[in-house]
């Protein structure tokens, strides 16, 4: 059954993407669009359907700015992706979108698929050829990575400078919304080094310059401190994770915070470490680091929160992105965990919600 054409929602509290209201409000919608917001509980008229949320809070639809819709939210999710048929990939994507929508997420930014399957889903959405109501999809296609590099199985390998222009041109031809590049190794790809860069400085700069020339923003997966520095110097628009790992642990110099903030670089994919977990089930790189530093899961989480808090206080543009789909802790529809972690790191509730609404919209729809 189609939704009513005119809808009035009474709410005890309203968050408009930046601030909370000082009292109750009534939100008026027609044909799926917000017509206006009136203070207090108004009487909209007999031709309006009234929804009473007087004891609740109404807020805009949420964004998850870092998802992998081809991943099924179970352990080893990315390992199964290369074996999926096109129909199986489509089914996994559909399940992920349903989980996101059920959690109030109305826009997702996919940062790594296989065979441009999520880009194809996005195109079907834009052509009105999807059957169900779904979150709006923005998509990067397969992430660019070095030969055998992090997530190479998704099909985005580029071997040296000669291959970069063609890879960017393919993504531009397909109309991707953002270019994703793996600047460092990753925890879910054995044999890659999270502490090292995957491209030379010249190669990463060429990726960024080529994408910008095509009118495309670039966001870089970067766990190791050298990769974060390299991404900043290359002029990326976003950094995913920004973990700043070294052999000695987390290391985030003040001058790097200043550079990220001054460059307007958005930081997404801030994965909240589980406060309690089976360390034996963690990725090998994380197990090794925690063992070397003698940290419990709770201590590891506290150090990461302290780092994110420093970025926030330093003016870095933080947006909510979970790396959704990789495992049950990072399942589709759990962006609330990313929002809660920002509060734990020192953001106010309003600022953390802005990271998942207005600020995320500004990053996702930039340009």
Q: Tens of pLDDT along 322-362?
A: 999 999 999 999 999 999 999 999 999 999 999 999 999 99
CA distance 39 to 81: 49
- pLDDT at position 44, please? 85
Bridge partners (DSSP) listed for residue 62: 105
**58, 74, 96: which is the final residue of a domain?**
58
- Is 210 found in the same domain as 337? yes
- pLDDT at position 1, please? 47
Domain assignment present for 1: no
Give me the CATH number covering residue 102.
Answer: 3.20.20.140
- Is 257 found in the same domain as 137? yes
CA distance 358 to 88: 34
CA distance 196 to 230: 10
- pLDDT at position 285, please? 67
Report which secondary-structure segment, H or E, holds 79. helix 77-80
- pLDDT at position 26, please? 95
Q: Chain centroid to CA 206: how far?
A: 24
- Is 25 found in the same domain as 165? no
- Is 153 found in the same domain as 19? no
What range defines the domain where residue 16 resides? 6-58
Give me the CATH number covering residue 51.
Answer: 2.30.40.10
Domain assignment present for 161: yes
- Is 264 found in the same domain as 299? yes
With contact defined as beta carbons under 8 Å apart, do 73 and 332 qualify? yes
- Is 111 found in the same domain as 229? yes
Neighbours of 83 (CB within 10 A): 8
- Is 112 found in the same domain as 92? yes
Query: Which residues in the chain come in under a pLDDT of 50?
Result: 1
- pLDDT at position 6, please? 92
CA distance 223 to 232: 13
- Is 105 found in the same domain as 13? no
- The DSSP secondary-structure symbol of 5 reads S
Taking CA atoms, 25 is separated from 4, 46, 106, in Å, by: 20, 19, 22
**In whole angstroms, how large is the CA radius of gyration of the chain?**
21
- How many residues are present in the chain? 367
- Is 43 found in the same domain as 187? no
- The DSSP secondary-structure symbol of 91 reads H
Bridge partners (DSSP) listed for residue 23: none
CA distance 157 to 150: 9
Q: Helices 297-313 and 254-262 meet at what angle, rounded to 10?
A: 50
**In total, how many domains does the chain have?**
2
Q: Which residues contact 270 (CB under 8 A, 6 or more apart)?
A: 241, 242, 308, 318, 320, 321, 338, 341, 342
- Is 27 found in the same domain as 97? no
pTM of this prediction?
0.94
Taking CA atoms, 365 is separated from 37, 136, 153, 328, 336, in Å, by: 24, 12, 28, 29, 21
- Is 188 found in the same domain as 80? yes
């Amino acid at each position: 059954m189609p939704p009513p054409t005119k809808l009035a929602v009474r709410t005890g509290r309203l968050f408009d993407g930046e601030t909370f209201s000082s009292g109750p409000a009534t939100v008026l919608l027609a044909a799926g669009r917000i017509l206006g917001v009136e203070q207090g509980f108004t009487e909209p008229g007999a031709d309006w359907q009234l929804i009473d949320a007087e004891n609740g809070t109404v807020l805009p639809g949420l964004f998850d700015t870092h998802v992998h819709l081809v991943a099924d939210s179970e352990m080893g999710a990315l390992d199964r992706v290369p074996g999926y048929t096109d129909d199986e990939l489509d089914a996994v994507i559909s399940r992920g979108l349903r989980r996101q929508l059920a959690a109030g997420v109305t826009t997702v930014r996919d940062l790594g698929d296989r065979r441009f399957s999520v880009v194809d889903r996005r195109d079907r959405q834009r052509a009105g050829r999807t059957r169900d109501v779904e979150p709006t999809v923005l998509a990067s296609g397969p992430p660019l990575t070095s030969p055998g590099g992090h997530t190479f199985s998704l099909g985005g390998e580029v071997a040296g400078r000669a291959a970069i222009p063609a890879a960017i041109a393919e993504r531009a031809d397909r109309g991707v919304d953002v270019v994703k590049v793996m600047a460092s190794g990753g925890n879910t790809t054995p044999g890659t080094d999270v502490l090292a860069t995957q491209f030379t400085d010249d190669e990463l700069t060429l990726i960024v310059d080529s994408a910008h020339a095509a009118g495309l923003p670039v966001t870089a997966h970067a766990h190791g401190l050298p990769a974060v520095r390299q991404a900043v110097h290359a002029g990326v628009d976003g950094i995913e994770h920004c973990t700043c790992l070294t052999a000695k642990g987390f290391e985030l110099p003040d001058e790097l915070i200043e550079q990220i903030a001054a460059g307007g670089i958005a930081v997404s994919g801030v994965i909240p470490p589980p406060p309690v977990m089976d360390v034996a089930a963690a990725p090998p790189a994380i197990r090794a680091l925690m063992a070397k530093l003698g940290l419990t899961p709770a201590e590891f989480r506290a150090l990461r929160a302290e780092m994110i808090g420093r970025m926030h206080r330093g003016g870095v543009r933080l947006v909510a992105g979970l790396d959704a789909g990789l495992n049950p802790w990072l399942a589709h529809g759990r962006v609330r965990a990313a929002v809660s972690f920002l509060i734990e790191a020192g953001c106010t509730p309003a600022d953390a919600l802005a990271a998942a609404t207005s600020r995320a919209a500004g990053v996702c729809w930039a340009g």
